[in-house]
Structure 1
């Protein structure tokens, strides 16, 4: 059992020194927020190629990982700093697997993938080496699809429902971001999980090309 620390929403804004509009600047909402199949309607998602959609409707970050970052950054990160929609106390990235589910009130989320750091994230953090630093930390948080819409707010209990199949953690996946040499056994295991369809297609295509 965990706890929902914050629900964060962003609007279209510009980051100093970075020209594209972005919704990465997310701030805690003061009251209940409705989560639909494609996420939070009021939340700005501008780069639809890499963010949003049914398989990445909600981005979750974990307070346990933020606690670790506090030591690295020299200050305690406030909810929304990494552009997440939900901050959950209880789990951590290293223990969160594809297919794990979070029940928050009537809302049911399912983990589909990890977050990959990008130039927008680096601009947000004011560090041109941030993507490398975030990747090295291997605490990516989790993208989720919405299996059951519902209304959530900070303070609600979060029930973790572990996936009973192959345990492919978001940290396992992030470790392969910088290499094309992904073990065949790992890809075979990954496609048995409810991983996002984009990655499923990539892995299944690679496996099919070998035979």
Structure 2
């Protein structure tokens, strides 16, 4: 399966009351850049991340969102949504991001990435969009985008093919993990046997199951 990279987006420093960082700054406002960008194991070169307690790190180094899902939101809200408008580093086209299997590998440019987990909407996202009910609506839509870890550092740029080069047999997708944690807790048992899923996500699923929340 091959799609393409529409845009590479880097966060700029935004100061706002809704910013989640204690300093009142956020990097959720990401803007498209020209030319190649280096994806490192510890971050996207040139990207700004304010609240590192909840953003960044090896399991969520890169965030990808599909242009097709952004178009759905643009039609739903009656307003344009530019690349980077979801806080994503990579805007993709013809890539089934919601249906991506946890652990599948994407070859983009000279970088090799691995799908790790869905994005969880937060109050900073709602503030950035100036939509108090965004978390509820984003959850109901259940097309959260995907975080990726960098298996091989390399450069990527707009127009690069996005090729899925490996896909685990377990079949658990980004969409399923998101729905398990939000709308469909009966899916939680499926998360326990997915080794590529971050341990923090599996541990949360175990705690919820032990508490009888599935």
Give per-residue Cα distances to partners, 1:53-74, cap 9 Å, x unaligned.
0000000001121122222121
TM-score of the pair, normalised by structure 2: 0.87
CA 1:192–1:177 in structure 2 vs 1: closer, same or farther (change >3 Å)? closer
Equivalent residue for 2:171, pick from 167, 171, 187:
167
State the alpha-carbon separation in 1 of the partners of residues 130 and 210 from structure 2: 42
**Stretch of structure 1 that moved more, 138-147 or 58-67:** 58-67
Residue 177 of structure 1 and its aligned partner are, at CA, apart by 2.8
Return the offset for 1:192: 2.6
Displacement of 1:201 in angstroms is: 3.3
Which range moved further: 122-131 or 65-74? Answer: 65-74
Question: Shift in Å at residue 76 of structure 1?
Answer: 3.5
Q: Give the TM-score, by structure 1 length.
A: 0.89
Distance 1:180 1:148, change over 3 A: same
Aligned residues: 207
Unaligned runs of 5+ in 1: none
Q: Which position in structure 2 is the counterpart of 1:199?
A: 201
Alignment of 1:100-115 (within 5 A): 100-115=104-119
Provide the C-alpha distance between the structure 2 equivalents of 1:125 and 1:159, rounded to a whole number of angstroms. 31
Whether the 8 Å CA contact 1:63–1:92 is kept in 2: the answer is no
Q: Report the CA distance between 1:207 and its aligned residue.
A: 6.8
Q: Superposition RMSD on alpha carbons, in Å?
A: 2.2
1:93 paired residue number: 97
Decide which of 20, 24, 30 is 2:28's aligned counterpart.
24
What is the distance in 2 between the residues matched to 1:177 and 1:14? 31
CA–CA separation in structure 1 for the residues paired with 2:188 and 2:37: 41
Name the SS of the counterpart of 1:121 in structure 2. Answer: helix
Q: Is this contact kept in 1: 2:9–2:83, CA < 8 A?
A: yes
Q: How far does the alpha carbon of each residue in 1:101-131 deviate from its partner, in whole angstroms, 9 at most, with x for none?
A: 2101210110100011000000000011111
Cα distance in structure 2, aligned partners of 1:205 and 1:141:
25
Over 4 Å off, 4+ runs: 179-184, 204-210
The unaligned stretches of length 5 or more in structure 2 are: none
Q: How does 1:151-162 map to 2 (within 5 A)?
A: 151-162=155-166
Which of 146-155 and 59-68 deviates more?
Answer: 59-68
Offset at residue 204 of structure 1 (A):
5.1
Q: Is the 8 A contact 1:122 1:128 kept in 2?
A: yes
1:124 corresponds in structure 2 to: 128
For the 8 Å contact 1:64–1:91, the answer to whether it is kept is no
1:51 is matched with 55
